[in-house]
Chains A and B, each alone.
Chain A
């Protein structure tokens, strides 16, 4: 492993793929964020109306479950990460401090609620956020946060609170850094395998996951009218826009990022179908974005009419376009 002397901060679209990409780059493996996302088969869809988040909102996921990127990339590339979890808060902070003194750059799971460098409106109780700690200065940790253009800092006590927030997906001091990267990695030979896996997950997964989940979600939205209060429906639509566009998905609920991955795959493998698939996935991303915009509009304008069939249809169109891309990719994998 050729570890770089200086840590280079950059913004990324998504926290987990971002930290993993950044850590790999720092340890000498030049790789792009979409490539990490694609190789770890990060794309997914799941709508779980029976699992409630804060505010009684259902879980809507556009990606595979948290930590699957760290796991997936190790399996695919043969890289190894040191992964640690703690019960003892003091020990967890001591270990991190020691790593920082050794100039080890570390990925850390943190709860957004406890991170003071975020605007107060953003500090919701979401536990599965990831940041990078790349040093220590005057008792403060140096933070590389993918949502902020400059690097920032955090006090030890705040970081401890963030690392040991309670609740769903509690971080439990989770931290990780690469310890081994193979001399030669043949990324090209891994691409089709990864696409195949995403394909399988999107096309074969039962309701409420994968492509079937998208249509189930559309039906669910359409049937909301009359069942729930207007206030709830508006909040739910806002929540959809939030999950899809605002929590760091690279736009269109990761669909743009996947299209970027397909584009890079085409450049490496020169299979024309990959380029076509990338273009179609971009279109699908645009359709997803239209859907989110319609949701956001209805949420923000309290006096507007709620046209659920229209919104559900926008989602169906996006789902259909995406399904076609996966069917097309199935033929070449």
Chain B
């Protein structure tokens, strides 16, 4: 598993994490010829990041509901890992309505080990982190 790698990655600041990323853009030079230029995190639009942030904010909201026992860790980790019900349902190979049932704390508690294992794999956490709800897992 790469849990360790991912953890290491998360400790870095956003700028460091995005540093190796480049966008190759075709641009005209002074002579009117096309060449490629590389755009980096600082000078590129990077709309990916606000989308990711919005999903994290949603995760925070869900966290409060999980703590109040109104939702399950499945919903929390779904947003934390930038997924939505449709994407997670597809990754799990279940229908959306079945997935949403797993957001109910009572249903979540009765989930069998196999299902939990599948969720844990997608979220890149341990089954234990789901059951005992470790939010930073």
A11 touches B (CB below 8 Å): yes
Contact residues in A for B9 (Cβ distance below 8 Å): 116, 119-120
Q: Which of A164-172, A200-208, A318-326 binds B? A: A164-172
Contact residues in A for B17 (Cβ distance below 8 Å): 119-121
CA distance A148 to B14 in the complex (A): 16
- Are the C-beta atoms of A238 and B83 separated by less than 8 Å? no
Name the contact of A54 in the complex, choosing from B20, B21, B86 (C-beta under 8 A). Answer: B86
Q: How many A-B residue pairs have CB under 8 A?
A: 140
The prevalent SS among residues of B at the interface is mixed
CA distance A166 to B53 in the complex (A): 24
Q: Closest 3 interchain pairs by CB?
A: A167-B90, A121-B52, A260-B34
Residue ID in chain B nearest A302 by CB atoms:
B50
Contact residues in A for B20 (Cβ distance below 8 Å): 148-150, 152
- Are the C-beta atoms of A168 and B2 separated by less than 8 Å? no
- Are the C-beta atoms of A246 and B48 separated by less than 8 Å? yes
Within 8 A of A (CB), among B53-71: 53-54
Interface string of B2-36 (1 = CB under 8 A from A): 10011001100010011011111111100011101
- Are the C-beta atoms of B45 and A245 separated by less than 8 Å? yes
Contact residues in B for A161 (Cβ distance below 8 Å): 121
Within 8 A of B (CB), among A235-290: 235, 238, 241-242, 245-246, 248, 250-251, 256-257, 259-260, 263-264, 278-279, 282
Q: Which of A183-191, A293-301, A308-316 binds B? A: A293-301
A52 touches B (CB below 8 Å): yes
Residue ID in chain B nearest A14 by CB atoms:
B24
Residue ID in chain B nearest A150 by CB atoms:
B20
Name the contact of B50 in the complex, choosing from A116, A158, A260, A300 (C-beta under 8 A). Answer: A300
Contact residues in B for A245 (Cβ distance below 8 Å): 23, 44-45, 47
Residue ID in chain A nearest B41 by CB atoms:
A119
A51 touches B (CB below 8 Å): no
A291 touches B (CB below 8 Å): no
CA distance A167 to B122 in the complex (A): 13
Name the contact of A166 in the complex, choosing from B18, B24, B52, B91 (C-beta under 8 A). Answer: B91
Known A11-B24, A124-B51; further 5 A-B contacts with Cβ < 8 A: A113-B91, A124-B48, A147-B21, A251-B26, A278-B34
CA distance A148 to B19 in the complex (A): 9
A72 touches B (CB below 8 Å): no
- Are the C-beta atoms of A116 and B2 separated by less than 8 Å? yes
Chain B contributes a number of interface residues (CB within 8 A of A) equal to: 45
CA distance A13 to B39 in the complex (A): 11
CA distance A161 to B3 in the complex (A): 14
Interface string of A60-80 (1 = CB under 8 A from B): 000000000000000000000
A12 touches B (CB below 8 Å): yes
A193 touches B (CB below 8 Å): no
29 contacts between A and B (CB under 8 A): A54-B83, A54-B86, A54-B87, A113-B83, A119-B17, A120-B9, A120-B10, A121-B14, A121-B18, A121-B48, A121-B51, A123-B81, A125-B90, A148-B22, A152-B20, A158-B2, A167-B90, A235-B54, A241-B47, A242-B48, A245-B45, A245-B47, A250-B25, A256-B34, A257-B26, A263-B34, A282-B28, A296-B45, A296-B47
Contact residues in A for B6 (Cβ distance below 8 Å): 116, 120
Contact residues in B for A56 (Cβ distance below 8 Å): 84, 86
A157 touches B (CB below 8 Å): yes
A173 touches B (CB below 8 Å): no
Name the contact of A157 in the complex, choosing from B1, B26, B45 (C-beta under 8 A). Answer: B1
- Given A54-B84, A300-B47, does the pair A246, B23 have CB atoms closer than 8 Å? yes
Residue ID in chain A nearest B3 by CB atoms:
A116
B120 touches A (CB below 8 Å): no
